[in-house]
A and B are shown apart, each in its own frame.
Chain A
Amino acid sequence: MTGTSARGTGNADSDHARHLLRQMLRVRRLEEQCVELYSAAKIRGFLHVYIGEEAVAAGVTSTLAPDDAVVATYREHGHALLRGVPAGAILAEMYGHVEGCCRGRGGSMHLFDAGTRFYGGNAIVAGGLPLAVGLALADKMSGRSRVTVCFFGEGAVAEGAFHESLNLAALWQLPVLFCCENNLYAMGTALARSESQTDIALKAAGYEIASWSADGMDVLAVEEAARRAVDAVRAGGGPHFLELRTYRFRAHSMFDPERYRDKKEVSRWMERDPINTLRTALEASGQLSAKDWKSIQQDVDTEVEAAVEFAEAGTPEPLEDLTRFVYSERSPE
């Protein structure tokens, strides 16, 4: 697949490509803002940004229906944003404010949103896969045609929960799409240093799950692969598996001196920046004017600035509420 070669010149295609470009830029700017706010000590805890990997979340989420479910990892700000969680609610969450999407109870690694069926924000590697299997099981048992998409990194592949989940999903033919965001490093451990078999799609195929890989730096390629998979899952074709080959441009978290990888390797991958790649291709084919690009940037900057203002203006939850949400609050009968 050569996704970014300017396919189709129709207006709809151009509009859609520009939409994907905008979506990736929204994630990029939000993440850059997070880093800045972290450096200014406005955000604490662990912070993992998605810079470099935007094509994966943008390409996959663009194929989903509003009532589909997403289960993601602790590097999930972008997924939440693209599923419709407002940037302001995401940043307010990281500020620990009650206006955050989890009232400040979750933080960066635990974003949840019932309205968009966004089920985290899971900070235990591979811990989200069984949840996705269960969500899909509920849909299947209830006769609903919804899809559950589960994102996880290639590090999750070494966990038992990964294998148990793939087996269950295949055994019960559940409507779940597994999306492995293979950025080559589980924190600092390179894939080849942790897996005897580094072809991840092959592992999924071992469970009789239809699986293929796509260039995770190319949003159009990701989208095409995801659309094929999501359509098949929704049509009752059972679980599908995508390995999206991508790269994390920044450190694992804000505490990572990056001793485990060569700066030249990072530079080589940065030449394949998914935003620049799509932008250049669209410009070359006349589908993105300088004015278009400027307008996209302005819109995104405005959105992120407003989100920061929203988070800044937020309020801490009163201390007397500390022990709320341990058990459900029941209205008196």
Chain B
Amino acid sequence: MKTTYREAMRTAIRDALQRDERVFLMGEDVGAYGGCFAVSLGLFEEFGPERIRDTPLSEAGFVGAGIGAALGGMRPIVEIMTVNFSLLALDQLVNNAATLLHMSGGQFNVPLVIRMTTGAGRQLGAQHSHSLEGWYAHIPGLRILTPATLEDARGMLWTALEDPDPVLIFEHGTLYNVAGDLADDAGPVDISSAAVRRPGQDISLITYGGTLPAVLDAATQLAGEGIDAEVLDLRVLRPLDDAAILGSVAKTHRAVVVDEGWRSGSISAEISARITENAFFDLDAPVGRVCSAEVPLPYAKHLELAALPTAERIVAAAREAVGTRG
């Protein structure tokens, strides 16, 4: 069937609400407004205000309440409008959600799912455009998902709700309108492995989330130049699928990591480090990276574009890696 990323996500939420009465959605404007990005549009009318629960603007309060409700036996889905706003709930996420199981010696797990929008590309300026999922991937106790395809938008949520521990789902804002075909019987997918989106022999382009379309574009352009790129979609930033990353590099001997986060102290740095730690002698070229410019994202369209990973920059990085002969 034809659908969009947004609709696939909505179908996943509806499916979860129907399957398990402990599930409810809570967040700012998820109900009467229909969701800031219209993901939950119509669900308020369908499920009512108890289960599609509008909250005040109080991220620490409602994220913490989601943790408490999870401890109390519910299966909350908490929506935070954007990753930048999640910083207002950082205490609850890092000091409670991620630590309670450990501090309690294994007694209190937190079966909570948090969804939020991430990323740039919509001229929203420096307080609505950052990609901080890599920060969250730093935290033991959290699982970090970055659905980039319709299948993952449809399928990751239910598996996340079945996880006994907190799961954060980062939805890149530019993906919501992506349209395509989704199998009629599409359903839950795994939330532990990376996926090869395009097999190739010459170089591994490793990415996740919002930059997957640009990376696939780049791979198509590279194919026209005789460079056969493999595209690996990480899907999960914590825990990283080391076997998939190293397996791809063992085959292609070259890697470029594409990450919309800033380069310094980033998830791309972590991936690059793991490759050099574990596959150094497989490499025929230094690991390349394409990240965002180290600047708070600007509003002006030409500046924002210049700051972000684009297919052109990815192609250039791949050419450089392939041009380096081992």
Binding site for B on A (CB under 8 A): 69, 100-106, 110, 112-114, 119-122, 124, 127, 129-139, 141-142, 160-161, 164-165, 167-168, 171, 324-330
Contacts and interface: CB of A to CB of B under 8 A. Distances in A.
B103 A127 contact: no
A129 B107 contact: no
Given A127-B92, A168-B62, A326-B101, A141 B50 contact: yes
A167 B58 contact: yes
B140 A326 contact: yes
Q: Please list the 8 inter-chain residue pairs (A to B) with the smallest Cβ-Cβ separation, ordered nearest first.
A: A134-B68, A130-B64, A138-B72, A164-B61, A103-B105, A112-B104, A164-B58, A102-B105
B96 interface: yes
Contacts of A164: 56, 58, 60-62
Interface in B44-98: 50, 55-56, 58, 60-74, 76, 91-92, 95-96
Given A168-B56, A325-B102, 6 more contacts: A69-B72, A102-B105, A161-B92, A168-B55, A328-B164, A328-B165
9 contacts: A103-B105, A103-B106, A131-B65, A134-B65, A138-B72, A161-B91, A161-B92, A325-B101, A328-B164
A120 B103 contact: yes
B68 A328 contact: no
Contact of B108 (A112, A127, A168): A112
A102 B103 contact: yes
Contacts of A330: 164
B73 A142 contact: yes
A141 B65 contact: no
Contact of B105 (A106, A132, A327): A106
B24 interface: yes
Interface residues of B, number: 40
B4 interface: no
B72 A327 contact: no
Contact of A102 (B62, B73, B107): B107
Interface string B129-154: 00000000000110100000000000
Contact of A135 (B56, B68, B143): B68
Chain A interface, >50% SS class? mixed
Contact of A119 (B71, B76, B91, B101): B71
B109 interface: yes
Given A131-B64, A164-B61, A137 B69 contact: yes
B67 A106 contact: no
A72 B221 CA distance: 59
Contacts of B65: 130-131, 133-134, 137, 165, 168
Given A112-B108, A114-B107, A328-B164, A137 B61 contact: no
A119 B108 contact: yes
Contacts of B50: 141
A105 B103 contact: yes
Interface centre among B68, B69, B76, B103 (most CB of A within 10 A): B68
A141 B21 CA distance: 10
A102 B95 contact: no
Nearest to A129: B64
A149 B91 CA distance: 21
Interface of B: 24, 50, 55-56, 58, 60-74, 76, 91-92, 95-96, 100-109, 140-141, 143, 164-165
A104 B100 CA distance: 13
Contacts of B66: 134
Given A112-B107, A135-B71, A327 B64 contact: no
A136 B72 CA distance: 8
Nearest to A131: B68
B72 A328 contact: no
A113 B105 CA distance: 9
A325 B91 contact: no
Contacts of A114: 104, 107-108
A164 B104 CA distance: 25
Contacts of B60: 130, 160-161, 164
A134 B73 contact: no
A131 B112 CA distance: 13
A171 B26 CA distance: 14
A134 B74 CA distance: 9
Given A135-B69, A161-B61, A105 B105 contact: yes
A132 B74 contact: no
A101, A130, A329: residue with the most chain B Cβ atoms closer than 10 Å: A130
Contact of B56 (A100, A110, A167): A167
A131 B76 CA distance: 13
Given A102-B103, A168-B61, A325-B106, A133 B56 contact: no
B104 A105 contact: yes
Contacts of B56: 164, 167-168, 171
Contacts of B74: 137-138, 141-142
A74 to B, nearest CB: 12
Contacts of A119: 68, 71, 108
Contacts of A106: 103-105
B55 A127 contact: no
B31 to A, nearest CB: 13
A276 to B, nearest CB: 36
B72 A124 contact: no
Contacts of A328: 101, 106, 109, 164-165
Given A131-B71, A330-B164, A113 B107 contact: yes
A130 B92 contact: yes
Contact of B95 (A121, A124, A139, A141): A124
